[in-house]
Amino acid sequence: MKKNIGVTALGTTVGSIKNQIYATETEQSNKLKGRINHSVCHWVFNPMSLDELCIASKEMGIQSVEILAVDTFPTLQKHNLVCGMVSGIGQGWGIEKAWNKIENHEGLTKFYHYLIDETAKAGFKNIICFSGNRDASINDQQGLENCAIGLKKLMPYAEKNGINIMIELLNSKVDHPNYMCDHTEWAVELCKKVDSPNFKIVYDIYHAQIMDGDIIATIKKYHPYFGHYHTGGVPGRHEIDASQELNYPAIMEAIVETGYQGFVAQEFIPKREDKIASLKQGVMLCDV
């Protein structure tokens, strides 16, 4: 009987050790390396609630949930998360109607002063902005000049409050017809004209691949102008795994090599049923 007890105890001990080793290996495989600061955009996970996404994000080591209005800040703070990029959409302003037309500047300036105040009060740092769309009344060069006029007037207030304003590069080929800031060079030229250390580009890799390609070379060339990164699979804007054409681990290595310290936000639209599993996969692929 004593022998049987010893064998049983030994078996239990071996089983426990195996479980502990497995748990440790799993924990280590899921542990983030700390070279990339991870964020996620809430809108691509709709209809998942912000609370649900915050809980899942916290568990996998994501530090930020973003592209959110100021009324969501208490929810983020409840979960001890930050908003890596505050939404610049509201009060009639958005992607299509923005800084490329002079008649929009007065209203936009008032709205962005409000965003700057609330973002600074919350302790967050970044607010997104947009160029607006092309139409028959305005060409790209005039739109560039108009954006620079309005944003140069705004930036002293942003600088005073320690806030960064960042214009997003979007594609006009698939998702946002006629959007003006659809090429990297246009956005870089705007940064040069605005001439503020607090004005940079949201380099959305999905959009940039559709319009310009050459992602890694572009990051190496223009990274001083890039203040934030978004991901997404091409084609389709779905999971960033082997089902699409971009090599995200290589792209992330290129970003790390530039010395970048900001956030990389997952902005792919999950097509799988288990959206959180897709998010975790994306984070791990980018965690180089």
- Of the candidates 59, 103, 168, 189, the residue annotated as catalytic is 168
Domain boundaries, the chain: 1-31, 34-286
Reading the chain (288 residues) residue by residue, the pLDDT tens digits are: 444 444 434 344 444 433 343 333 334 345 899 999 999 999 999 999 999 999 999 999 999 999 999 999 999 999 999 999 999 999 999 999 999 999 999 999 999 999 999 999 999 999 999 999 999 999 999 999 999 999 999 999 999 999 999 999 999 999 999 999 999 999 999 999 999 999 999 999 999 999 999 999 999 999 999 999 999 999 999 999 999 999 999 999 999 999 999 999 999 999 999 999 999 999 999 999
Question: Cα separation of 247 and 251, whole Å?
Answer: 6
Closest CA to 76 of 102, 42, 100: 42
Annotated catalytic residue 168: yes
CATH architecture label of 34-286 = Alpha-Beta Barrel (3.20)
Q: Is the peptide bond before 270 cis (omega within 30 degrees of 0)?
A: no
Question: Cα separation of 141 and 189, whole Å?
Answer: 10
Q: pLDDT at position 25, please?
A: 35
Question: Cα separation of 64 and 129, whole Å?
Answer: 19
Half-sphere exposure of 277 (CA within 13 A, CB side): 4
Q: pLDDT at position 126, please?
A: 98
Q: pLDDT at position 5, please?
A: 41
Closest CA to 231 of 271, 175, 182, 269: 269
Show the tokens assigned to 42: 């809430």
Q: pLDDT at position 30, please?
A: 55
**Residue 96 DSSP label:** S
Show the tokens assigned to 281: 């996969």
Q: pLDDT at position 17, please?
A: 39
Residue ranges of E strands in the chain? 37-41, 64-66, 126-129, 164-168, 199-204, 226-230, 263-266
Q: pLDDT at position 31, please?
A: 85
- Other residues' Cβ atoms within 10 Å of the Cβ of residue 122: 16
Contact 159, 198 (CB under 8 A): yes
Show the tokens assigned to 224: 């001083």
Beta bridge partners of 133: 179
